[in-house]
Structure 1
């Protein structure tokens, strides 16, 4: 019986925002970053152990338009004022199959957007690579700490859950790895976590949330709700007692407010 083609689902994740006070050719400058994530059969995010490295082919006006990135989630960060179509070339482990080329539309219509792609592998590739493709992969959510809260009274397990944490910081899925010397400069600066969200490091902010008292966590939720926009990723599940936020989508003003609030409560 002939073997079937193996398929893997991945998505290209784009985040961008305006750099205040900077313009070029009459247009505002924007910081943008792109990363890749696998998707399993349950729709959960997972790593990409079968991808060796990724090459981004940018617009020819960029200095060094060909950028190589070797660390998952293969994140590239840059700055510019214009939209353009780029190529993303995935190179696989042990050169087991020909590189896969993805077309990606870098646009500024949304601060955060995700595009899914399907990769197809023929069954006549190296058996070791087929085994790698079929091997169970740890999902990103398995590694991320789940932080949850609700606005009701606190006692017993609910108190422990609230005190332990409040928010699921989705940006933890992007590990703070530094790339090798041959990787793009933009990627290594993005990995530091210090350059993207103005002066606010979302990883540190999430850690501050975990140290807050329950009453302070309720105030955090109120602040987010009061400043919430359609561009923010905010999800509330009252029955499960969860309140999830992607800190990267909150914007500099709200992040600064939350930072100042946490600092005051923890150091006051």
Structure 2
């Protein structure tokens, strides 16, 4: 696992959104090769959410590729129009990867568990758009602020925060120390962030790249103190 640090989140080169996968499934009157497991008809649709959690067509993607279980006759299925509905029949549950392309080559990959526990279920995941083009920026603006919009709002927030408190921690030292931690200590810190972050803490877990990203300046002070104290114990920082 590699740690990536964002400074202040005032970075117009990255914008986050939540995508939603909606799965529907039902039994169908077809013979199953596994008698204990009935045949199912299922479909997965992809949406993007705005800041209020409302669904919108994911028009920011040019195409979406569903990578299904290799037992399917056509395991790699590509769709070019929202809501990128992938419809199939089968009896088994499995995990699929889904490649969402913002251009012909630029893709974001997420993973989805296809299961038959409920007739319909939703899976929301946060994704990061890095270095978006002007066309992509316009598409993303339909569901919230992007780029400089985020930067301006965050700059004002940071200025207000700086007036309210005196920084008791050297964030430059923290950032430098975190990048030098061994694998076990780094995983420990990442778990601390997961367990103690606030709603305002900006993080992203990119499983495909093996990267965990965090904006240190958005962490709550108690969490920052915990990490600072841990780094002191490991002799990675000095007062």
Give the alignment's TM-score, normalised by structure 2: 0.52
**How many angstroms apart in 1 are the aligned matches of 2:29 and 2:142?**
45
Are residue 32 (structure 1) and residue 39 (structure 2) matched?
Answer: no
Instruction: Quote the residue 1:86 is aligned against.
Output: 96
Q: Which SS does the other structure have where 1:108 is aligned? A: coil
Match of 2:124 among 107, 116, 140: 116
Residue 132 (structure 1) shift: 2.7
Matched, 1:68 2:78: yes
Match for 2:133 among 126, 134, 144? 126
Q: Which residue of 2 aligns with 1:210?
A: none
Aligned to 1:46: 56
CA shift for structure 1 position 24: 2.0
Deviation at 1:28, TM superposition (A): 0.8
Given the superposition, is the C-alpha separation of residues 74 and 61 from structure 1 closer, same or farther in structure 2, using an over 3 Å criterion?
same
- For 2:136, what is the secondary structure of its paired residue? helix
Structure 1 residues 77 and 128, CA gap change in structure 2 (3 angstroms): closer
Match of 1:15 in 2: 24
SS at match of 1:24: coil
- Aligned 1:130-169 pairs, distance under 5 A: 130-135=137-142
Higher RCO (Cα < 8 Å, 6 or more apart): 2
Cα gap change, 1:71 to 1:127, in 2 (>3 Å) = closer
Distance of 1:135 and 1:112 partners within structure 2: 27
Other structure's SS at 2:84 match: coil
1:107 is aligned to 115
Cα distance 1:80–1:41, how it changes in 2: closer, same or farther (>3 A)? same
The CA distance in 1 between the partners of 2:143 and 2:112, in whole Å, is 28
For structure 2, the residue ranges without an aligned partner over 5 or more in a row are 1-7, 145-239
> How many residue pairs end up in the alignment?
134
CA distance in 2, matches of 1:98, 1:41: 24
SS of the residue corresponding to residue 77 of structure 1 reads strand
Tell me the SS of whatever aligns to 1:20.
coil
Note the alpha carbon deviations across 1:138-169, whole angstroms, 9 max, x for none: xxxxxxxxxxxxxxxxxxxxxxxxxxxxxxxx
TM-score of the superposition, structure 1-length normalised? 0.46
Check the 8 A contact 2:47/2:58 in 1, yes or no. yes
Q: Distance in 1 between matches of 2:81 and 2:30?
A: 32
